[in-house]
Amino acid sequence: MRAPAVPDPAAGDVLLAVDNVSLAFGGVRALRDVSFDIHRGEIRAIIGPNGAGKTSMLNVVNGFYQPQQGRITFKGVTRAKMRPYEAARGGIARTFQNVALFKGMTALDNIMAGRTLKMRRSFFWQLLRYGPAMAEEVEHRRRVEDIIDFLQIPHIRKIPVGKLPYGLQKRVELGRALAMEPELLLLDEPMAGMNLEEKEDMSRFIIDVNNHFGTTIALIEHDMGVVMDLSNRIVVLDHGVKIADGTPLDVQGDQAVIDAYLGVAH
Amino acid sequence: MADIATARGHAFSGKPAAALEPAVSASAVERAGHPTTAPASPDTFPKLLLRNADIFADRPAIRHKDLGIWQTWTWRQVRDEVSAFARGLAELGLRRGDHYAIVGRNKPRLYWAMCAGQALGAVPVPLYSDSVADEIGFVLAHAEAKLVIAEDQEQVDKILSIRDKLSLLTHIVYDEPRGLRDYDRTALTWIDDVQRRGREAIARDPPHRQWWENEVAAGKGDDLAVILYTSGTTGRPKGVMLSHTNVLISAHNGNAFDRLGADEEVIAYLPLAWVGDHIFSYAQSYDAGFCVNCPEAAETVVEDRREIGTTYAFAPPRIYENIITITMVRMEDAGALKRHMFHFFIGVARRWGEKILDRKPVPLHARLLYWLGEILVYGPLKNRFGLSHIRVAYTAGEAIGPDIFRFFRALGINLKQLYGATEASVYITAQPDGEIHADTVGRPNIDVEVKVSEDGEVLFRSPGVFQGYYKDPEKTAETKTQDGWVRSGDAGFLDPATGHLKIIDRAKDVGRLNDGTLFAPKYIENKLKFYPNIKEVVALGDKRDFVCVMINIDMTAVGSWAERNDVVYGSYQELAGNPAVYDMIERHIDEVNRSLLEEAVMGAAQIRRFLVLHKELDADDGELTRTLKVRRSFIAERYKPLMDALYGGASEADIATEVTFEDGRKGTIAARVVIRDLKPATPAMEKAA
């Protein structure tokens, strides 16, 4: 099933490129011939009205959906299809629109779960918690503690996430994604349902992740103020079609965008 | 999952190492036997550090929970860190006599910053980390700070925003590098780099040891040790100057008073700028050699305290109130069996616990029940809040509700009250073990003299008494007399029966009834406010014939009472006017009148009339300050019709008040408020247990 991997020498500082992707569910055409790219180190926003195909786009990028047409080039490797585990191994991590954590596990264990792909020792040794497996686990825990410190959540380390308020659950989810040490981080509405203060906190964390770890970020967000402040470039979708692509300033002034989205919403 | 947070407090709190025995026990004997007026020979903080590095060597001096693990530094390591830090600060240009500020939460390196600067003969000025930029700016300018040691980006940003106004400030040193990577480095240095520069200087310059020892030796006990700015309720903050001797004698006497030694464990979580933290987390630790633990974050203090198992604690009343509230709310949600067990054993504890704690005779069956309660309820509860190992716990800062106070004592926690002031290096009075009264603040501490002036103000004199207010000789002269007595600003009296001090009010608020009876509004208000049904009280009586009170009911408590008793109400106003609520409040006031009567000094100021206000007092309407203190004079004016009715004998009064809603709109609330008379209490009331 695996598509032939062709290195693309012309990629330059493009981390990920989507070319002419179309995706349909039966008769519903979620994405129509969409192309855009994400540069290494930038914060890239995907916006659009409800049902524009934003989440579908993210799902295509991390291999959750298989597009009927088009290609995805990630780190110079072009594929027609990408499997979720290939995306994860390759350094793509994501968070979900509806928090997808293990509710009965503590914040710490949830974030540790993000390290699974980095574990080298076999399951057997990990069960015994002996020798190299133990040393490895201590090292993973150290990395996770750095993330806990970074996200300022030491006080909830040992609390089952199901008991946490929504804003903190979102932060734990971000922590789990960071634990994978991704090159590309996909955030699906990281600020949905948050109050102003929580949004400000989350914005700061996103900027810090970008600055501090140099992580490339692609995010979907509805709060226009946040999007305009955070992102370097924005791609606008409407009914599965890309209608604009550029800097926040370009997009804000684009008549098609105003008609489709900003003008209506505000 | 590997639990790597293993440095538990009790691992260290066993017997000290054999080599230490003589030193430790010798000082213990000295403390128990004849308290001395001077600390043992080292008379400054840096000298104490050198002594501790010798005698306590590899015992823990300070811990910090970082990345989920308790990191420990021994006294020797602290000495090395501080000496490198001091050298680095000297390289940055800090000189003897300079002032420098420290702003941040409780972190080991900020405590080291105090001692490092003091070793150079410079004077630290700790600031409140939650102050806004302007407040910080005022203190930095007033204190003429040459250098600031800031915890993190938040503090650095505040200082940079007011940088232009601070011509004397040459450098900012920070502890937490996060977010500061892209800042202009010309006048901004990371503590690590300061220490590294210090270490490099030491390596370049072999006689460093000599330099360091000379610097430390040059410090004298009478040198200024610290300037602590008091958060002024009126006007700008004042800088209280304390010498090394002031702080260290007071700390030493405090340790002696409670026989605190090198085995104590404390959590440092109160503001660095507050004299309490300076004494408890810094001076007393240096004096006794015990370990100070810095929590991971403000939100983790309870969890961290539990892991450490603190033996000595200090907190304002709200912390204790909070513990009770959390417990009660959780118990309401617990299963019926647990809830009944809890209430039964809390009943047992309230009846016998304090007597057992004070080693008074108690019948055998009570002892057995209490023992069972300890296993089933008290032990787990204390463990939950990290209070299992407590030997001495203090509450201070404001009055604590007697019920709250007794609750903790009943659980077997040696909670005591203390009365202190920045100007006294904390200790004025404290309750000795076994002499605990819910309504006193204890006896004068070792070396402290206390007297009450003719107009009822408490005065004190001690070796801990401050040098003066920085750059404010006028205020200094107002507060401190030539012969060293300091006016506390509080009115109080020495209880003839026990010899303990009772604080009744701020001196300027104390008045007299027309017949000359002493009238202390806050004393009466506090007594009433300790009832959960009463939220705010305004007591009136100065230059009047008798005392009246205006009451605000507590909507949560009275609302839930109304629900249980099928009292229907639609608003605060309706509930406040309900006759059944009036009956309830009347019973509370009767009890207060009776308890007032038992007191020689305050007894005559009986409450004769009261009313329940038709609206809640609100800071938005200017009736309360932002820190929720009642503004009596403002209220007197605003509610003049009610005051007139209270003293005019009417049984009800009409009032219309303008209110400000949360969105800024204004409106008017009009009401007819009922006034009730109270029967005076008779002295021969029940003397029940």
Q: What is the pLDDT of residue A261?
A: 66
* C-beta atoms of A155 and B300 within 8 A: yes
Could you say which of A109, A129, A141 has the minimum Cβ distance to residue B4?
A: A141
Query: Would B144 be classed as within a structural domain?
Result: yes
Mutation target vs B (from A145, A147, A205; most B CBs, 10 A cutoff): A145
- Mean pLDDT in chain B? 86
- B543, B629: one domain: yes
Query: Would B228 be classed as within a structural domain?
Result: no
Mean pLDDT value of segment B66-87: 95
- B576, B515: one domain: yes
Share of chain A above pLDDT 70, in %: 89
CB atoms inside a 10 Å sphere around CB B329: 9
CATH number of A1-91+182-266: 3.40.50.300
CATH (domain of B211): 3.40.50.12780
**Per-residue pLDDT band at B19 (split at 50, 70, 90):** very low
Where is average pLDDT lowest: B38-47, B190-199, B407-416, B579-588? B38-47
- How far is B330 from chain A, CA to nearest CA, in Å? 15
- B137, B214: one domain: yes
Residue A121: is its pLDDT beyond 90?
Answer: no
CATH (domain of B578): 3.30.300.30
* C-beta atoms of A155 and B303 within 8 A: yes
Residue B357: is its pLDDT beyond 80?
Answer: yes
**Per-residue pLDDT band at B24 (split at 50, 70, 90):** very low
Angle at CA of residue A54, ends A51 and A60, nearest 5°: 120
Mean pLDDT value of segment B328-351: 88
* C-beta atoms of A152 and B179 within 8 A: no
* C-beta atoms of A157 and B68 within 8 A: yes
Q: What is the pLDDT of residue B328?
A: 79
Chain A residues whose beta carbon lies within 8 Å of the beta carbon of residue B2: 129, 134, 137-138, 141
Mutation target vs B (from A102, A128, A149; most B CBs, 10 A cutoff): A149
Mean pLDDT value of segment A119-131: 70
| Structure token digits, residue B312 | 């000595």
- How far is B105 from chain A, CA to nearest CA, in Å? 15
* C-beta atoms of B68 and A112 within 8 A: no
**Per-residue pLDDT band at B683 (split at 50, 70, 90):** low
Mean pLDDT value of segment B9-20: 35
- How far is A149 from chain B, CA to nearest CA, in Å? 6
Chain B residues whose beta carbon lies within 8 Å of the beta carbon of residue A134: 2
Q: Which backbone phi and psi does A62 adopt, to 5 degrees?
A: -95, 15
* C-beta atoms of B300 and A148 within 8 A: no
- B498, B552: one domain: no
DSSP at B664: S
Question: Is A99-181 in the same CATH topology as A1-91+182-266?
Answer: yes
- B85, B188: one domain: yes
Residue scoring higher pLDDT (A195 or B103)? B103
Q: What is the pLDDT of residue B637?
A: 85
**Per-residue pLDDT band at B470 (split at 50, 70, 90):** very high
* C-beta atoms of B299 and A155 within 8 A: yes
Pick the residue from chain A with its C-alpha nearest to B68. Answer: A145
pLDDT digits (tens, 9 = 90+) for A4-13: 333 333 344 8
- How far is A218 from chain B, CA to nearest CA, in Å? 22
* Prediction pTM value: 0.79
* C-beta atoms of A138 and B4 within 8 A: yes
Mean pLDDT value of segment B401-426: 91
Mean pLDDT value of segment B6-31: 36
- B449, B307: one domain: no
Residue B35: is its pLDDT beyond 80?
Answer: no
* C-beta atoms of A208 and B179 within 8 A: yes
Dist CA A165 CA B228 (whole Å): 39
Pick the residue from chain B with its C-alpha nearest to A148. Answer: B67
pLDDT digits (tens, 9 = 90+) for B199-225: 998 888 777 788 898 999 999 999 999
* C-beta atoms of A134 and B181 within 8 A: no
Where is average pLDDT lowest: B376-380, B432-436, B559-563? B559-563
Q: Which ranges in B205-351 belong to alpha helices (H)?
A: 208-218, 244-257, 275-277, 284-288, 301-308, 317-333, 336-348
C-alpha distances in Å from residue A93, one per residue of A46, A61, A150, A173, A188: 16, 10, 18, 11, 11
Chain B residues whose beta carbon lies within 8 Å of the beta carbon of residue A155: 296-297, 299-300, 303
Share of chain B above pLDDT 90, in %: 55
- How far is B125 from chain A, CA to nearest CA, in Å? 28
- How far is A133 from chain B, CA to nearest CA, in Å? 11
pLDDT digits (tens, 9 = 90+) for B113-138: 999 999 999 999 999 998 889 889 99
Taking alpha carbons only, the member of B431, B426, B384 closest to residue B409 is B431
Chain A residues whose beta carbon lies within 8 Å of the beta carbon of residue B67: 142, 145-146, 148-149
Domain residues of chain A, as ranges?
A: 1-91+182-266, 99-181
- B295, B339: one domain: no
Taking alpha carbons only, the member of B513, B516, B512, B524 closest to residue B546 is B513
Residue recorded with tokens 């490092």? B116
Where is average pLDDT lowest: A121-125, B415-419, B591-595? A121-125
* C-beta atoms of A152 and B297 within 8 A: yes
Pick the residue from chain A with its C-alpha nearest to B301. Answer: A155
Chain A residues whose beta carbon lies within 8 Å of the beta carbon of residue B179: 208
Residue recorded with tokens 């005051």? B643
Residue scoring higher pLDDT (A255 or A206)? A206
Domain that includes residue B455, residue range: 315-388+391-464+484-504
Q: What is the pLDDT of residue A109?
A: 94
Mutation target vs B (from A155, A159, A200, A208; most B CBs, 10 A cutoff): A155
- How far is B327 from chain A, CA to nearest CA, in Å? 18
**Per-residue pLDDT band at B682 (split at 50, 70, 90):** low
Residue B337: is its pLDDT beyond 80?
Answer: yes
| Structure token digits, residue B498 | 């026990």
Query: Would B239 be classed as within a structural domain?
Result: no
Pick the residue from chain B with its C-alpha nearest to A141. Answer: B2
Residue B498: is its pLDDT beyond 80?
Answer: yes
- B214, B81: one domain: yes
The domain tally of chain B equals 3
Residue B27: is its pLDDT beyond 50?
Answer: no
Chosen domain end from B295, B311, B327: B311
Pick the residue from chain B with its C-alpha nearest to A209. Answer: B179
Q: Which CATH superfamily is domain A99-181 in?
A: P-loop containing nucleotide triphosphate hydrolases (3.40.50.300)
Chain B residues whose beta carbon lies within 8 Å of the beta carbon of residue A200: none
- How far is B189 from chain A, CA to nearest CA, in Å? 19
Mean pLDDT value of segment A193-204: 87
pLDDT digits (tens, 9 = 90+) for B547-561: 999 999 988 888 888
- B491, B633: one domain: no
- B137, B187: one domain: yes
Q: How many contacts, defined by CB atoms under 8 Å, are there between A and B?
A: 42
Q: What is the pLDDT of residue B162?
A: 94
Angle at CA of residue A251, ends A247 and A256, nearest 5°: 155
* C-beta atoms of A109 and B1 within 8 A: yes
- How far is B178 from chain A, CA to nearest CA, in Å? 9
* C-beta atoms of A155 and B68 within 8 A: no
- How far is A228 from chain B, CA to nearest CA, in Å? 21
Chain B residues whose beta carbon lies within 8 Å of the beta carbon of residue A154: 65, 68, 296-297, 299-300
* C-beta atoms of A146 and B1 within 8 A: no
Q: What is the pLDDT of residue A170?
A: 92
Mean pLDDT value of segment B628-634: 76
Looking at this protein, which amino acid is placed at residue B521?
A: P
- B449, B339: one domain: yes
Residues in chain A: 266
Residue scoring higher pLDDT (B402 or A173)? A173
Mean pLDDT value of segment B78-92: 95
- B327, B307: one domain: no
Which residues of B have a CB under 8 Å from any CB of A? Answer: 1-2, 4, 65-69, 178-179, 181-182, 296-297, 299-300, 303
Give the side-chain half-sphere CA count within 13 A for A142.
6
Q: What is the pLDDT of residue B627?
A: 58
Most confident of A39-43, B228-232, B554-558: A39-43
Query: Would B343 be classed as within a structural domain?
Result: yes
Query: Would B607 be classed as within a structural domain?
Result: yes
Pick the residue from chain A with its C-alpha nearest to B67. Answer: A145
* C-beta atoms of B2 and A129 within 8 A: yes
Where is average pLDDT lowest: A105-109, A217-221, B367-371, B616-620? B616-620
Q: Which ranges in B106-186 belong to alpha helices (H)?
A: 108-119, 133-142, 153-161
Residue scoring higher pLDDT (B659 or B88)? B88
- How far is B68 from chain A, CA to nearest CA, in Å? 7
Predicted ipTM > 0.85: no
